Chain A
């Protein structure tokens, strides 16, 4: 037997878990694309992907989807992460790790300012 407060707690608690399926209220979306494949994974891309998913969900960032993709062709610079904000040029980050990923979410996705230091041009 639950109280109304219990039901609300379940809802809030579940929000993070279903965010991956339902975080859109718009037709456009920001895409964060992680190059996986064997080369990426060897360099830690899977950990970056997991961290990004968790970060976006726990911060409840709407209309933002984390994608996996195959190898992006720059195996030496893995893990790579592309960020596509609608209406803005694509930004490619290289040699991303979990800490850098958090910073990218914070500064670029939420703050709107790409983190130049981690982009391909600065590698």
Chain B
């Protein structure tokens, strides 16, 4: 029996920070010290604190080491594993100056979370089915197959109040019922792991950290709706997730948890993986199914809905990864337990991917109804460098920006829509005072213009025109009438686009116009960008504090600065490309950006 377990994060974040090398080095040193039989190395999925990665946790002490480097392995082995002394300098510190907290679960970051979908991420080795089983894995499937009828399973999901985590928040139980009711000898059960929102990575983390949870839930769904074959549609840019899914599928088949006559019952179901090429529109349900069929991923009008005519024309259930990740827990702990968390119409928890100007970049899972303030400040650790919170963007390119006056609203599906944003998949990008809201709207619109499939005109042409108008604002060539025209075009696109991509594409523009109209107006009337982001509206000037050190002149890549030694220098505005090199280098703070 292993007397110590060393968990090393194998999520994408930590892997890109060399965690694989840490594991190899650890293995080597354990061997050299003859510890390979008493110390187990466990490669886990993401712990959620990716900004502090690579993360290493040593049990039994639950010592939580962050920002670990390959060179630190010697100390972990020699000091901690052999001599019992925690490696103080590696212990994770939540806030500067605080005494180091010891275990991950004792951190403020974890204590305020409720982990349901992420329960096994960072806890188990996702490549070992026995560990999943040890943490009650496949118990929910066994319970369904032995105790419940398909309709009873659907009723439990309905009672739980679970809504789809892929964006729209459609009641999951109801969707299952539609597919259950559809008459067909072949039905498909699909998992949407396309995860196209820039900034969202919760689905990737679930597949990387706990793939069996998704497989088990898909099998339960198939039992409930009469599914015969499953597909996981995952983007090829997620190689670790794809690999772990493949391993999990092979193990589940070997154990008879997938395939013919599962666990000796007369229920049969198997799952295959389909790789997507990473087009945002392929996350849309009808486009996804066309893509799985091997055709170009373009949406088609609904009805018919996939529940009746989906993949290969057959009734098809499609749920998001995170939606599935909740299912086994609802079955084992009961619908009432799940419904006891969250708000009136949004039950359970939601995973958010925190990004942007926030201390704890990473993944958090909180009950629905948690306020934005709690997420940003208490769990997220606030804004770095003492800057001010300006807005939070949720819902990715389909969502909107939430201004400071709404920091205290309880976040759920309906509240977010009420204030002009949406849940989307749960990306949460925090912006500080240095962010230009027009620029942000432009960023998301550029994304949708790129990702529009081009099938319908309102989206293909409309978003392009909208982007041109935004360009005019950031160039200082727009008029106030243009703002009204923009708004009109937004509503036109929303009302006429064929699929959700086009219908929601104007949201980032509309919400910034709603809450930050003054910023648009400053760009237009004063030809200034208040956050000094829009290049065309920014000017660099050298003030009298200039000592004539000539540094800026030498730094300027285009020779836009004139001046002799010990004389005040001057910037030639026509030549200046606004790269900022002069300002960054000036030791006398003599260069200002306005």
Contact = CB atoms under 8 A, between A and B. Distances in A.
Interface string A28-63: 000000111110110001000110011001000000
Chain B interface, >50% SS class: loop
A35 B59 CA distance: 16
Given A7-B142, A11-B133, A70 B84 contact: yes
Contact of B264 (A4, A17, A20): A4
Contacts of A45: 84
Interface in B137-156: 138-139, 142, 146
B1 A14 contact: no
Contacts of B84: 34-37, 40, 45, 49, 67-70
Most buried by B among A3, A21, A38: A21
Contacts of A17: 1-2, 134
Given A36-B84, A68-B80, A21 B59 contact: yes
A108 to B, nearest CB: 18
A65 interface: yes
Given A21-B5, A49-B3, A65-B60, A14 B134 contact: yes
Contacts of B378: none
Nearest to B264: A3
Contacts of B134: 10-11, 14-15, 17-18
A21 to B, nearest CB: 5
5 contacts: A11-B134, A18-B134, A35-B84, A68-B83, A70-B85
A53 B2 CA distance: 9
Interface string A1-24: 111101100110011111011101
B263 interface: yes
Contact of A10 (B86, B133, B264): B133
A98 interface: no
Given A50-B38, A57-B1, A65-B60, A7 B255 contact: yes
A24 B60 CA distance: 12
A66 interface: yes
Interface string B1-37: 1111101000000000000000000000000000000
B62 interface: yes
Interface of A: 1-4, 6-7, 10-11, 14-18, 20-22, 24, 34-38, 40-41, 45, 49-50, 53-54, 57, 65-70
B263 A7 contact: yes
A41 B255 contact: no
A2 B255 contact: yes
B312 interface: no
B123 interface: yes
A18 B80 contact: no
A24 B123 CA distance: 13
Q: How large is the interface on B (under 10, 10 to 19, 20 to 34, 35 or more residues)?
A: 35 or more
B135 interface: yes
Contacts of A7: 133, 138, 142, 255, 257, 263
A53 B60 contact: yes
B416 to A, nearest CB: 32
A6 to B, nearest CB: 8
Contacts of A49: 3, 84
Contacts of A10: 130, 133-134
A4 B263 contact: yes
B210 to A, nearest CB: 14
Interface string B317-352: 000000000000000000000000000000000000
A70 B78 CA distance: 12
B256 interface: yes
A57 B82 CA distance: 21
A81 to B, nearest CB: 12
B146 A4 contact: yes
Interface string B75-96: 0000010111110000000000
Contacts of B136: 11
Contacts of B131: 14, 18
B272 interface: no
Given A2-B255, A4-B146, A11-B134, 7 more contacts: A2-B257, A6-B255, A11-B136, A57-B1, A68-B61, A70-B83, A70-B85
A3 B262 CA distance: 9
A20 B146 CA distance: 31
A37 B264 contact: no
B2 to A, nearest CB: 7
Contact of A20 (B60, B86, B138, B139): B60
B263 A3 contact: yes
- Going nearest first, the 9 A-B pairs with the smallest beta carbon separation are A36-B84, A68-B84, A14-B134, A1-B256, A70-B85, A53-B3, A18-B134, A2-B255, A66-B60
B499 to A, nearest CB: 42
B2 A36 contact: no
